[in-house]
Structure 1
Amino acid sequence: MRRILLYFLLLLAGPWPLYAQKVLSIKLDATINPATADFIHRAITVAQKEGSTCLLIHLNTPGGLLKSTRVIVSDILESPIPVVVYVAPGGAHAGSAGVFITMAAHIAAMAPGTNIGAAHPVSAQGQMDTIMSTKATNDAIAFIKSIAAKRGRNAEWAAQAVRNSVSLTESEALEYNVINLIASNEQELLNNIDGKSITVSSGTVALKTKNASVRSLDMGLGEKILNILSDPNVAYILFLLGLYGLIFELYSPGAIFPGVIGGICIILAFYTMHTLPVNYAGLALIVFGVILFLLEIKIVSHGLLGIGGVISLLLGSMMLIRTDEAWSIGSLSWSVIITAVAVTSLFFLFVVGMGLKAQRAKPALGLEAMIGEIGQSLSELNPAGTVRMHGEIWRAISASGLIPEGKKVVVTGFLNFTLQVEAYNEPST
Structure 2
Amino acid sequence: MVTVSDEESGVSEIFSVPNIRHLRIMESVARNASISRAAIEVSLSQPAVTQAIAKMEASVGRPLFDRAANGSYLTAAGDVFLHRVKRFLDQSDRAIRDLHPGDGDRASARHITSTQIRCLLSIARSTSFSQAARTVGISTASLHRAAREMEANVRKPLYKSSKYGLTLTSEGAELARKLGLATREIEAAEDDIRYLDGVESGKIVIGALPMSGAYLIGATIADLTSQFPEARVYVTNSPYGVLLNSLRTGAIDIIFGVLRRPEWAVDLEEEALFSDPYCIIGRAGHPLASQAAVSTSDLLDYEWIIPGAGTPRRRQYDALFDDMHRRPRITLETSSLSTIRSVIACSDRLTLVNRHEVETEERLKLLSVLHWTSNFPPLAKGITTRSNWLPTPIQQRFMNLLRMRAGQAPV
Report which of the two structures shows the higher radius of gyration computed on alpha carbons.
1
TM-score with structure 1 setting the length: 0.24
TM-score with structure 2 setting the length: 0.25
